[in-house]
């Protein structure tokens, strides 16, 4: 059979370039301010039709949601047109429990590994707070940096070595995470050993979802976002759960919820890597900055251990007629380094299994029986490679 001659690659490339050039003028950055034109957020409902939450970005089937009251949902259906998503309840999350401390001397619990750094960066350098900054997006100098600075300062006050990289990753487009990945790596390179890496954002949903009174003070809530595609997901979830467990007791209402969405968010770079949404574009920057102090305390305890006061209601075992006044309990948290990091190892194992299975399938596709036999002989050294 005669082999057909292909058309010249130069001609084909020219056609391709012309087509690309035609598309280019139509291209517009799908920046975060899409919510300004249209209520661009998705609403999540449970099976009974109750509204669970809203998200500024698109929801997908198999995304997971952990509500403020620690109920775990999995999204089974998404209607893109109406921007409605539906989730089924799959159980209550079991957050870590903490031992009560009676002995006063334990207050000075040894806090090891203080030389490990907490690294901060902002993928979306333009994110700003309308009431304080005047607009929702200020290229390269977003109000988000002021919030990240507050968080860094609060961590430093706790004696933590915190580093904020203020590199701009503009424009706010699909390449932003690729560029912020370079910042995260640069931070890790320069500040090893690393305790944790946090990407600081602000959300883009209505204000009421982030308004909160925490221990009698007005501030913004915080949402934790985890990428479900990253192989450190389990380890990062463990950290998120620990943060939520401490916050729920020490600063009830501070952690709004946890969203486990599609994507990696560069979280595969560290088994202690999370994305924090500190408020939303409609909330004041000061409210977000106020929250950073409490968040720093929680993160510090979650990673380095310590003792904190729980603001939980009094025990149920009280006699009838007694007022249910909050009773401060002192709880002890272990440093995260002393705990098992089950998730990190599991993620790597899965990746290796997938790589090996993929390779075996590829070998079966590409080689004949004799070729496979010959390859094995090469590996076992029975036959020398030519």
Partner 1 sequence: MSVGLTLLVVTGILFLFGLGHNILDRMRLNDKAALFFMAGILVGSFIPNIPLGNRVSINIGGAIIPLVLAIYVFSKAGTTKERIRSVLASILAGTGVYIAGRLLPHEPETMMVDPNYVYGIIAGIIAYLFGRSRRASFIAGIVGVLLADAAQGIVNYANNISAPVRFGGAGAVDAVVISGFLAVILAEVVGELREKIQGGTKKKQMGFHDGEFVNLVDFDTEEETEDEGAKEK
Of residues 233 through 272, those in contact with partner 1 by CB under 8 A are 261-265, 268-269
Contact 233, 156 (CB under 8 A): no
Sheet with 329-333: list strands edge to edge. 99-100, 329-333, 306-310
Quote the least distance from Cβ 180 to partner 1, whole Å.
Answer: 9
Using CB under 8 A as the binding rule, the residues of this chain from 191 to 220 that contact partner 1 are none
The residue range among 95-103, 205-213, 317-325, 354-362 that interacts with partner 1, by the rule CB under 8 A, is 354-362
Give the whole-angstrom CA distance, residue 126 versus residue 145. 9
Which of the stretches 43-51, 90-98, 177-185, 322-330 binds partner 1 when contact is defined by CB under 8 A?
177-185
Regarding 165 and contact with partner 1 (CB under 8 A), the answer is no
Question: 77 or 318, CB closer to partner 1?
Answer: 77
Nearer to partner 1, 192 or 318 (CB): 192
Distance CA 381, CA 73 (A): 53
**Residue 67 binds partner 1 (CB under 8 A):** no
Q: Decide: is 231 part of the binding site for partner 1 (CB under 8 A).
A: yes
| Contact status: 334 vs partner 1 (CB under 8 A) | no
Q: In angstroms, what is the minimal distance from the CB of 264 to partner 1?
A: 5
- Beta carbons within 10 angstroms of residue 165's beta carbon: 16
Please identify which residue in 177, 241, 276, 308 interacts with partner 1, judged by CB under 8 A. Answer: 177
Residue 346, interface with partner 1 (CB under 8 A)?
A: no
183 binds partner 1 per the rule CB under 8 A: yes
- Number of neighbours of residue 237 by Cβ within 10 angstroms: 20
* Smallest distance from partner 1 to CB 226, Å: 11
**Which positions from 285 through 314 interact with partner 1, judged by CB under 8 A?**
none
Rounded least distance, CB 222 to partner 1, Å: 18
Among 111, 132, 337, 375, binds partner 1 (CB under 8 A): 375
Residue 365 C-beta: closest distance to partner 1, Å: 5
Residues 98, 96: Cα–Cα separation, whole Å: 7
Stretch that binds partner 1, among 56-64, 93-101, 214-222, 319-327 (CB under 8 A): 56-64
Using the rule CB under 8 A, is 12 a contact of partner 1?
yes
Least Å distance, CB 273 to partner 1, is: 10
HSE-up of residue 249 (Cα within 13 Å, Cβ side): 26
User: CA dist 263 to 60, 88, 188, 287, Å?
Assistant: 11, 21, 21, 29
Dihedral of alpha carbons 260, 265, 269, 274, sign: negative
H helix intervals, the chain: 9-23, 130-133, 144-157, 176-190, 233-250, 285-304, 342-366, 369-380
Beta bridge partners of 42: 55
- Reported for 69-74, long-range contacts at CB under 8 A and 24+ positions apart, including other chains, are 70/95, 70/244, 70/248, 73/44, 73/46
Stretch that binds partner 1, among 45-53, 245-253, 281-289, 357-365 (CB under 8 A): 357-365
Least spacing, CB of residue 157 vs partner 1, in Å: 29
Work out whether 125 is an interface residue with partner 1 (CB under 8 A): yes
CA dist 29 to 135, 168, 173, 175, 310, Å?
18, 16, 6, 10, 46
């Amino acid at each position: 059979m005669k082999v057909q001659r292909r058309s010249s690659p130069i001609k084909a490339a020219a056609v391709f370039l012309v087509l690309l050039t035609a598309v280019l003028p139509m291209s517009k950055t799908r920046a975060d301010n899409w919510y300004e034109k249209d209520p661009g957020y998705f609403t999540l409902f449970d099976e009974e039709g109750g509204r669970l939450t809203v998200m500024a970005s698109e929801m997908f089937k198999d995304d997971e949601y952990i509500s403020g009251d620690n109920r775990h949902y999995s999204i089974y259906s998404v209607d893109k047109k109406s921007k409605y998503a539906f989730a089924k309840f799959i159980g209550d999350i079991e957050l870590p429990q903490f031992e009560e401390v009676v002995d006063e001397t334990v207050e000075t619990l040894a806090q090891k590994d203080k030389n490990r750094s907490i690294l901060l960066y902002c993928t979306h350098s333009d994110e700003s707070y309308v009431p304080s900054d005047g607009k929702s997006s200020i290229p390269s100098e977003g109000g988000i940096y002021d919030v990240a600075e507050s968080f860094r300062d609060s961590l430093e006050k706790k004696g933590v070595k915190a580093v904020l990289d203020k590199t701009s990753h503009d424009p706010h487009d699909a390449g932003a995470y690729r560029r912020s990945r370079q910042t995260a790596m640069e931070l890790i390179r320069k500040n090893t050993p690393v305790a944790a890496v946090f990407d600081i954002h602000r959300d883009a949903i209505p204000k009421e979802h982030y308004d909160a009174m925490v221990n009698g003070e007005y501030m913004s809530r915080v949402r934790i976002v985890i990428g479900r595609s990253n192989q450190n997901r389990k380890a990062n979830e463990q950290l998120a759960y620990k943060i939520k467990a401490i916050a729920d007791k020490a600063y009830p209402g501070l952690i709004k919820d946890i969203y486990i969405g599609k994507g990696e968010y560069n979280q595969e770079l560290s088994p202690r890597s999370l994305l924090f949404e500190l408020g939303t574009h409609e909330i004041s920057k000061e409210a977000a900055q106020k929250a950073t102090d409490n968040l720093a305390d929680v993160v510090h305890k979650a990673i380095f251990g310590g003792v904190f006061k729980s603001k939980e209601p009094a025990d149920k075992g009280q006699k009838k007629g007694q007022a249910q006044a909050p009773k401060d309990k002192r709880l002890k948290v272990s440093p995260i380094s002393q705990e098992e990091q089950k998730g990190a190892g599991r993620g790597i194992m899965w990746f290796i299994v997938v790589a090996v299975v993929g390779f075996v399938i590829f070998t079966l596709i590409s080689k004949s029986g004799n070729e496979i036999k010959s390859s094995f002989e090469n590996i076992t050294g029975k036959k020398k490679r030519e």
